[in-house]
Amino acid sequence: MSQTTVWILNDPSAGYLRMLEQLPDAAHIVAGKTEEAFAGAPAPDAVMCGMGQGQLLEALWPRARDARWVHSLAAGLENVLFPALAESTVEMTNSKGVFGRSLGEFAIAAALYFAKDFRRMIRNQQAGLWKPYDMEELTGKTFGIAGYGGIGREAARRAKALDMKVVAMRRNPGQTGDDPHVDEVCGTEDVAGFLARCDYVVVAIPNTPETRGMIGENELRAMKATSVLINVGRGPVIVEAALIRALEQGWIRGAALDVFDEEPLPEGHTFYRLDNVLLSPHCADHTPGWVEEAMECFLDNCQRFLRGEKLLNRVDKRAGY
C-alpha cells in the first residue's frame, strides 16, 4: 500500500505530537519547525500547520502547493492564510468548535463579574470594609452574540440556562435553524442597531478584511451606558482607540477582553489601568488538555482523509473562516 505523506509544521519535541502514533502506517509523518526539516521529504499530500507556524507554511508552499488538504491546529486563520493558499483549490480545515466550551464559560464569567461587581467586592475585602451594595441579576437581560459559530452557541447555551434573552448576529441568519438557545437572529446589516439592544455583548467574530473594524465609534456610541462588551474573537474586530474612549468616557459600563490588536499587550497599555476592564492575556481557552483536544480534531480528520471521507470543519479560505 502506498503511503500518504503528512507534513506536521510544529515543534517535533512537543509532547502532544505523540498522539500521531494513533495514525495508521498508511500515514508517513514528517515533522519539523524549520524549512530544513523538510528539505529531503517527499512532497506532502496533507499539511498540519501548528500554532504560530503560518510563516513556515508560506515558505514551504512552493513544495506543498499540490497537497490536497491543509489543516490549521488553531481556529483563527488570519496568521495562516496567505494569498497563494487562499486562491488555491486545496481543501482547508481548522479547529473551530474545540474551544467553544471554555470561551462560552468565560463569557458568562465576565457577565457575572460585572453584574455582581466582583472588583468592588474584592477591593472592599482587601481594605477590610463591610459595605453592602446592590447587585444586578442576569435573569431577563439581553445577551447579544456577534458571530454565532461554535463559541457563540456554547455561550448562548449557558446564557439561556440563566434565563437571559439571547439575540445572535451572523452573516447568514438562515444557518441558525431552530436553535433552542437563541430567541432572535439578525444579519450584519445594522451592527449599531444590534448592539443598542443588548445588555451584554459577546464578540466571537474572526479577523478578516470584512470584519476588521466592524465595531467602531458609531457602534460603541449606540450601546447602552450600562452595557458590557466581551471580546473572545479577535482584537482587530473592535477599533481599539474607540473602545478606549468608550471605556474612559463612560459610553459603556465595561469590557472583558481576551484578545487584542497587539499580543502580548505592551507594557503600560491603557487597558491595564482601567478599572472597568477585565483583562485576560488570550488564555480564556487554555484549559488542561486544550492542545490535545485540537490534536484530536486533526487526528479525526486525518483518519477521514486517509479513508477518502468528507472532512469536518471545512473553512471558506476566501472568507477567512
Task: Give residue 49's domain range.
Answer: 4-97+289-307
282 is catalytic: yes
SS3 281: coil
At residue 1, does pLDDT exceed 70? no
At residue 7, does pLDDT exceed 60? yes
Rounded CA-CA distance 91/316 in Å is: 9
Average pLDDT estimate for 245-249? 98
Counted residue by residue, the chain has a size of: 321
* CB within 8 Å of 321: residues ≥ 6 apart: 77, 96, 149, 206, 208, 315
Task: Specify the pLDDT at position 303.
Answer: 97
Which among 242, 260, 279 is the end of a domain? Answer: 279
Same domain for 198 and 132: yes
Average pLDDT estimate for 197-219? 96
Same domain for 228 and 110: yes
Give the mean pLDDT of the chain.
Answer: 96
Q: Is residue 145 part of a domain?
A: yes
Same domain for 131 and 15: no
Task: State the total domains in the chain.
Answer: 2
Rounded CA-CA distance 230/97 in Å is: 18
Average pLDDT estimate for 201-225? 97
168 within 8 A of 185, measured Cβ to Cβ: yes
Q: Looking at 87, 137, 263, 309, which residue is catalytic?
A: 263
150 within 8 A of 100, measured Cβ to Cβ: yes
Q: Looking at 171, 197, 282, 304, which residue is catalytic?
A: 282
Task: Specify the pLDDT at position 264.
Answer: 97
Give the pLDDT band of residue 285 (cuts 50, 70, 90).
very high
Task: Specify the pLDDT at position 68.
Answer: 98
Give the whole-number percent of the chain exceeding pLDDT 70. Answer: 100
Average pLDDT estimate for 103-113? 98
At residue 289, does pLDDT exceed 80? yes
Task: Using DSSP bridges, classify how beta strands 165-169 and 184-186 pair: parallel, antiparallel or unpaired.
Answer: parallel
Task: Specify the pLDDT at position 97.
Answer: 86
Q: Looking at 153, 157, 181, 234, which residue is catalytic?
A: 234
Give the whole-number percent of the chain exceeding pLDDT 90. Answer: 96
Give the CATH number for residue 272: 3.40.50.720
Task: Specify the pLDDT at position 259.
Answer: 98
Same domain for 204 and 129: yes
Quickly tell me which residue has 481548522 as its cell: 94
Same domain for 93 and 111: no
**pTM (global) more than 0.75:** yes
Same domain for 226 and 253: yes
